[in-house]
Chains A and B, each alone.
Chain A
């Protein structure tokens, strides 16, 4: 149903099985394993050893039978819920590596695949959620999206691209599928009665979002595949495979320039035409089925009327309606899926789509069954929603499960929902409004396309970090008019709920005078929102209000230490750059006024010393420890010239005379740190470290040494745990252990906790064991 899975998938799954086997026997390293599993839509969750599988569902379309099968698979192997993504996919969570291929085989049995759920592949193709039903649509592009999926996922080169490639289909010029923000976007239109599309290319969200460029004003629908394939080949040949941070199609557009890009594209099109590329086989969209054998319920209840007003939408098919089912934060319990699937089965296969707001949109529901449906929906777990506003609000998973996350946007959204529910704000009067949150600058929460959006960020007050969000607002989506939101300020995560309440209250008062939020934003809204954000500028010190230093739903004080190294370090880079910019600014501003110059120089030295500490997993609490750690981890480690030791120690002592004469020296220190930062790679390593001769045959050096030959089990292991606790990741501990039970047990226990045992050598009647902290 919806798309065809190529026959090769079975063999590919067998191959994946064998990789997993090798990995478990220690014959395959973690990085290679990751590269093998991610293109199958299998990601490791934040918790080590736990995996997620992302199921491809074009346009979020599923039959009730498939929906049921996903929930059954999830219940059998995974967690208690299914997650609906912001790209209309369905995810099964909390899987053991052993279960991953079983899950994929069960999906295959019901016509679903997770191939291309991740990695540098053709990703899930998205479609306007109301395609096929919308009152304003030009025509239904879904059949093209389904057929394009079938064709592309049968081509081997779709899995080996320089970076991911995303396609979208909108059914109207309102661009309700973000066609202008995907690598290739099709917007339905007709010309002289011929069905076709306007095509946009090289748009995208991610870390550096970009509005797509017009590639074709009109292509006949028969050229959909030709265009897609030409772009794919162009990307395959010319995309940047070296730097994954500048690899998306939009970077190719930028580096090649529009003219060259078009030329390369036309070459691919010509070749495809010469080769006689056949158009897609389009199945005519099936219209709704005969009335189902369900009991009719007539309901006389004001809550029913409110629900209808909030969530039921007319369709262009008379007598049929669509129903938005809010799924709070996109998580729906397996058992609720089963109930819903049972209810929808009699209503036919064309009843379920997912939305970009991580909700379900049921379609082709006979109007007279609304009462029956309402009653059934009320019995589902978390699908009840306070309002359409909150139902459509989107938050990515954030640092809860995502290794890239900085903040916890789901906790923040829950807090916003609580705040609004308690407030006087007339949420139903707001109508359709895009409120979006992402946990980091990547755009999974689509904050750049929001009316009011937020992305996670780390800020600092004194030496302490607190979670914060950058506020963006005023995006426009309509074709030809599209633009990303503007940054209008930054506020502490703690202040998000009151900020949103106040911003919406402002908007509601102004709403009658404007046609859209974006118009209001351009008129007077931007200034008003900026002023509003400024009223939240002050963040209390940790001692005065600890709440600001805990993210929503977190039980530990906010910190970036140990986060996301090697995956994406956007949050870390941000913090480092803030420090270095501030230092640079201070240096430029420091005047001849010697009183102030002293203080500036001290601050510059402090910021320079502090900026890179976080790359070593260090958070210093006092100025003195900033200097001390910098000395230890950068100067003594040989990353920064030894000559700076004097100025660092003098500054650390607040030695006025020393600082006074050191302007040149401190400015050189800043330059040295900046240069070091520039040379840092994406795994937060510096050239000096990577070029060091690795593992010489001489005994490996340890950072900490302990002799526990007289300590019995299990206290020896307790002591080792304590030692490791005081060390930083990557440091090495050498312990001397007694023969017998100690050497049999301690290294094994250490390895079970995730640390690496690098060597274990017998010396007389004791053992020397070298452990690397994870």
Chain B
């Protein structure tokens, strides 16, 4: 008599474990997504850490146009923009530029700039040796700052790409500061 009950229970346990497993899989999609985007280089997300500039050969034959754009997310009372909007570089050439930020409000705020490169396939070739986006940017009330960016374009950049656009979106993380530090503000 216990035979069907037993097989019911066995199947039941298997199916319940299956659905718990799929619940876990939903969360596993989060790191999986990042890994896939990184390896395939499809999300326009440049590397979140500083690259080293060693033994890079400058390719004088090619010229790449680099465009900079910046926006402030939501109603954050900051002015934020690139110092120059567009520069021409040779692949492999180390270039220095900067963004300008100004806190217009009467209280100190912390910003976090999130970069994105378009076209997305170019993101993997956009190397930064120094970037303000690796850290948070605290600014006192009414203060301003020049935020440095030193980068080079990998000479292996596919020939089809002639222009790279680097976009920064500035988020107000004054309230979320602690959470942001834990979650990898290094990006």
Chains A and B come from one and the same complex: no
Q: What is the interface of chain A, defined by CB distance below 8 A to chain B?
A: none
